[in-house]
């Protein structure tokens, strides 16, 4: 039950005005003892140096946008070799065929959104190669970190190559009450990987997805283009064993 409130009708939205009411900005001190009222202060380390180095993280993540940072970069040159790190990161990833990227870039020039471009990239490679993300960033004029931020936001984007067989187990509400967690567990045990991982031989990737929209057939498993209903742990084990056998032949 909701706590009984005797105060004035609850105000929706930002409560910033209450925060500001309690501060005397001239004196830089708090007046009154209102809950949730605070002043920002910057902490200094033992040597008296400010620990803040204007990363602007607080400014960017503040949910009520009450922080405004005016800063000047002190290190005009970064203390590490960005180009070398980038090259090393690229090196660590498998080679990709750059041709499908042309279509993605053409789409971007045609007015497609960033997420649409990422979708097209994933459709071409089945995951998002770093090189593709860098090209998209260059094309859109965004920073790589921004593109990466969007790519990591959505669980359906894979940033690592996926296995030959992608098995997606629906864990939506209807599937959950019908036993999807057991199916997922059976897959995980049989493939010997955790959910979201890929086997070392690049044969299987196991993923949990939220609702594929075939709730009448719960629990549902999506394997390749096929959607299979009324799935059971026994069927899951059989499928994995069969695919393993097929691979050995």
Partner 1 sequence: MATKKTSATSGDRAAKIHAALEKAHRPKAVRGAGERPHISLCGGTACDASGAAALREALRDELEKHGLAGKVEIVESGCHGFCAEGPIMVLRPQGIFYPRVKPRDIPAIVETSVVGDGVVEELLYRDPATGEPVADERAIPFYAGQERRVLADLGTVDPTCIDDYLARDGYAALATVLADDDPEGVIAEVEAAGLRGRGGGGFPTGKKWRLCRENPGERRYVVCNGDEGDPGAFLDRSLLEGDPHAVIEGVLIAAFAVGATEAYIYTRQDYAPAVERLKTALDQARERRLVGEDILGSGFGCEVRVFAAAGAYVCGESTALVNTIEGRRSMPRGHHVRLVEQGLFDQPTAVNNVETMASLPWLIRHGAEAFASVGGKDAKGTKVLSLTGGVRNSGLVEVPLGTSLREIVVGLGGGVAEGRTLKAVQPGGQSGGVLPADELDVRYDYESLRETGARMCTGGVVVVDDGTCIVDLTLFALRFMAAESCGKCVPCRVGTRRMLEIFERISTGDGEPEDIGRLERLCDDIEEGALCELGAGAVRPVRTALRYFRDEIDAHILDKRCPACVCRSLIRYTISRHDCTGCHACYGACPVQAVSGDRKQPHRIDQRLCIKCDTCRQVCKFDAVMVKSAGVRTGGKEPALAGRRSS
Q: Which of 60, 58, 10, 28 shows the shortest CA–CA distance to 18?
A: 10
DSSP at 3: P
Query: What distance in Å separates the CA atoms of residue 18 and residue 48, rounded to the nearest whole number?
Result: 33
Taking CB under 8 A as the rule, does residue 233 contact partner 1?
Answer: yes
Beta-carbon contacts of 129 under 8 Å, excluding residues fewer than 6 positions away, are: 93, 94, 96, 121
Taking CB under 8 A as the rule, does residue 10 contact partner 1?
Answer: yes
List the x/- string, 151-170, binding to partner 1 by CB under 8 A. Answer: --xxxxx------------x
Of the two residues 44 and 241, which places its CB atom closer to partner 1 in the complex? 241
Pairing mode, strands 165-170 and 221-223: antiparallel
Member of 8, 9, 12, 48 binding partner 1 (CB under 8 A): 12
Least separation, in Å, of the C-beta of 62 and partner 1?
9
Taking CB under 8 A as the rule, does residue 116 contact partner 1?
Answer: yes
Member of 23, 142, 144, 243 binding partner 1 (CB under 8 A): 142
Member of 214, 223, 243, 244 binding partner 1 (CB under 8 A): 214
Count of residues engaged in binding partner 1, rule: CB under 8 A: 61
Member of 9, 13, 47, 224 binding partner 1 (CB under 8 A): 13
Taking CB under 8 A as the rule, does residue 119 contact partner 1?
Answer: yes
User: What would you measure as the largest C-alpha separation in the chain, in angstroms?
Assistant: 80
Of the two residues 100 and 181, which places its CB atom closer to partner 1 in the complex? 181
Taking CB under 8 A as the rule, does residue 211 contact partner 1?
Answer: yes
Taking CB under 8 A as the rule, does residue 176 contact partner 1?
Answer: yes
195 within 8 A of 207, measured Cβ to Cβ: yes
Least separation, in Å, of the C-beta of 63 and partner 1?
4
Query: What distance in Å separates the CA atoms of residue 236 and residue 170, rounded to the nearest whole number?
Result: 13
129 within 8 A of 114, measured Cβ to Cβ: no
Least separation, in Å, of the C-beta of 92 and partner 1?
25
Query: What distance in Å separates the CA atoms of residue 32 and residue 24, rounded to the nearest whole number?
Result: 10
Q: Which of 127, 240, 116 shows the shortest CA–CA distance to 189?
A: 240
Taking CB under 8 A as the rule, does residue 23 contact partner 1?
Answer: no
Taking CB under 8 A as the rule, does residue 217 contact partner 1?
Answer: yes
Query: What distance in Å separates the CA atoms of residue 39 and residue 25, rounded to the nearest whole number?
Result: 9
Taking CB under 8 A as the rule, does residue 223 contact partner 1?
Answer: no
Place of tokens 């599937």: 175
């Amino acid at each position: 039950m909701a706590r009984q409130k005797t105060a004035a009708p609850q105000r929706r939205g930002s409560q910033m005005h209450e925060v500001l009411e309690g501060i005397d900005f001239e004196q830089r001190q708090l007046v009154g003892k209102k809950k949730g009222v605070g002043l920002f202060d910057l902490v200094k380390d033992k040597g008296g140096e400010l620990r803040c180095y204007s990363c602007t993280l607080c400014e960017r993540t503040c949910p009520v946008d009450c922080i405004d940072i005016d800063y000047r970069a002190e290190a005009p040159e970064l203390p590490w070799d960005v180009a070398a790190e980038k090259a090393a990161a690229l090196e660590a990833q498998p080679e990709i065929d750059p041709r499908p990227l042309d279509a993605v870039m053409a789409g971007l020039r045609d007015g497609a959104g960033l997420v649409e471009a990422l979708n097209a990239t994933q459709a071409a490679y089945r995951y998002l190669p770093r090189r593709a993300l860098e090209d998209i960033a260059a094309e859109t004029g965004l920073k790589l970190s921004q593109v990466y931020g969007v790519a990591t936001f959505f669980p359906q984007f894979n940033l690592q190559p996926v296995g030959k067989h992608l098995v997606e187990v629906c864990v939506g509400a209807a599937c959950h009450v019908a036993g999807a967690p057991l199916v997922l567990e059976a897959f995980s045990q049989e493939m010997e990987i955790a959910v979201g991982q890929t086997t070392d031989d690049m044969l299987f990737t196991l993923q949990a997805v939220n609702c594929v929209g075939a709730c009448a057939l719960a629990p549902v498993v999506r394997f390749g283009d096929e959607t299979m209903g009324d799935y059971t742990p026994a069927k899951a084990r059989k499928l994995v064993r069969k695919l393993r056998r097929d691979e050995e032949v």
